[in-house]
Structure 1
């Protein structure tokens, strides 16, 4: 499976920053309430309880039959009305997301059980508005390009993506059975932005464990591979992509997650591991995984927002793969490649890897943006003593 990581931002972010993963409405429940009032006041239309609500302007000559269907769901009827009204103005995305959107309040034969998801959702801010599509170019593109038109905390879920995105223009393979979603959030503190991806990773690993316990299933030991991949038994099962833009003293963050729940290819999946542990074990459902993720993320984000990442650091290290790991870092010196052996200690305050070399000097390790192999392609940057 190709990598699906996140680019860490530079020290001085531009107006459009590629944030290191993450997501979370730093303004909290107040933002959700403000968004609700804003959209209810500006949306005079009330959607009818019919399947097809509207066909939007198209940037191509695609026919209505080829339109992408977006089905609006909400934790409450009011939430559903809000989202349906807001979604009626979304603009087509670029590339694979371009075309017409048909907004609906229901869909015959939907592959995602929105009722089960909403029933398991306990989060108050994140995930209470959901756009679901049977097939879409990219959930990330849709919400990123329509951020201002949708409530903060909205999630877009797709059964199939044909233009799924990863880091460095990599494509995320999105077969049926994969949980694919993107959601929005906001934050103000740019210093925390690079660490947000770690909160998202931790939230998913903890959510999967908690869901297994709740269902009486063997606990799946999903681990974090720095900076933003999820691994199970040495194989990749998921990854995270975050993008952000800066506007009106706020960072608008779009977080995309792909997680192999019921699809063994191209690597492995959660249910394959459960079946291996117990052949008659019930299977995890995408709806439950998504709900448990938001339940956990909202809680961890609140801790992170109020106390900083240091309050979650020990828990994060318990979930990642790298404590005490020795790696060879490649550097160029006088035209030749020089390898340095370092031992990973943890994270730096800015979110990079902190390591100690055999010379007892401190090193800060950065991803090279291309290599999928953690053990090669890292750029060494010596820290000041």
Structure 2
């Protein structure tokens, strides 16, 4: 299998220009093997724009994409037609402003390469299916998703105003993989708080609901999905995030909360939040990689909902099953909930559990 690598700069300026021209021509490729037999009624066109922190970053990503991206299987006779363009989209319009995002980005490893689409099936599917073609740290952003992915095969609702993105990373330590989602959750909560402080806005107390949801005022405003695949000596990680920024449905959103806290308050933008996230995530990921999750635990517990929370678990099997009330203490080394019962018995609680210790409420 191919390793995802950082692409080397083109050997000559002519090579760079050639790569740019290829991408700028908006090459169209039919990705379904029977595309020539499909009717226009079953054809969906996905336009993907290429952006980079620097001109070189943009050219490298364009060369990697080269007009060919797999968008995942849709089933039936539908045809996915992809158009790739070096144009980053119309700044100041309703779509994602790549220039504003790149201007606020300070991270050097993550988010420097961006694929953006006004409308696509799933950002997570795109980075998953094209991991080997793309530079590690690339981010894919969509204004609207048709089939956004959540945990346990749930579909994440993706209305306009929601920040929806997926990005790639790599890790060699398998024991750290289950904890990656906690680092991502922490990075987003910290990024939102720091952004509010920097802009002089009321601080939004976004909290983490274990294992991978974000809550504000007891309502869900975001979710994280981490998936991985293994290649020799390295795990390829795809992380997807959906965050309600300016869409009050289906629950609430960050800007609605700001309006309640301060009349005529300036609003947060998706571009600023995404840049702030990568600025924070890059720092936390470095700590996590070198020192482990223990170095971040205190910060994490300050941002989650569950310290001291009492929940009911079902202990045992069949007719021997009994309810027990336990108090959550923290996380186990493997990333599950650690709780203690009223009788002093220790529990390791798993999400959506069907095991001998299943959480009834959380």
Give TM-score scaled by structure 2 length: 0.89
| Counterparts of residues 120-269 of structure 1 (less than 5 Å) | 120-269=104-253
State the SS of the aligned residue for 2:83: strand
Deviation at 1:57, TM superposition (A): 2.6
Distance 1:156 1:369, change over 3 A: farther
Structure (1/2) with the larger strand percentage: 2
State the SS of the aligned residue for 2:21: coil
8 A contact 2:111–2:138 mirrored in 1: yes
Match of 1:75 in 2: 53
Cα separation, 2, equivalents of 1:95 and 1:65: 11
CA distances 1:325-380 after superposition (whole Å, capped 9, x unpaired): 1110123544365211100000000000001111101110001269xxx96268xx
Most deviating of 330-339 and 310-319: 330-339
Deviation at 1:230, TM superposition (A): 0.2
User: Does the alignment pair 1:99 with 2:80?
Assistant: yes
Deviation at 1:65, TM superposition (A): 8.1
CA distances 1:92-139 after superposition (whole Å, capped 9, x unpaired): 311289611100111345601111100000000100000000000000
State the SS of the aligned residue for 2:221: strand
Structure 2: which 5+ runs fail to align? none
Match of 2:62 in 1: 84
8 A contact 1:89–1:149 mirrored in 2: no
Cα separation, 1, equivalents of 2:330 and 2:39: 50
Cα separation, 2, equivalents of 1:197 and 1:210: 20
Match of 1:368 in 2: 352
Deviation at 1:66, TM superposition (A): 3.6
User: Does the alignment pair 1:349 with 2:304?
Assistant: no
Deviation at 1:84, TM superposition (A): 1.2
Cα separation, 2, equivalents of 1:240 and 1:369: 19
CA distances 1:21-69 after superposition (whole Å, capped 9, x unpaired): xxxxxxxxxx99x5121x747x874122985521123304365984200
**What is the number of residues matched between the two proteins?**
344
8 A contact 1:92–1:100 mirrored in 2: no
8 A contact 2:288–2:295 mirrored in 1: yes
Cα separation, 2, equivalents of 1:148 and 1:301: 21
Structure with the larger RCO, 1 or 2 (CA within 8 Å, 6+ apart): 1
| Counterparts of residues 274-353 of structure 1 (less than 5 Å) | 274-335=258-319, 337-353=321-337
Cα separation, 1, equivalents of 2:225 and 2:25: 31
RMSD: 2.5
State the SS of the aligned residue for 1:363: strand
Structure 1: which 5+ runs fail to align? 1-14, 16-30, 379-385
Cα separation, 2, equivalents of 1:98 and 1:226: 38
Most deviating of 226-235 and 164-173: 164-173
State the SS of the aligned residue for 2:51: strand
CA distances 1:218-268 after superposition (whole Å, capped 9, x unpaired): 000000000000000000000000111001211000000000000000000
8 A contact 1:225–1:320 mirrored in 2: yes
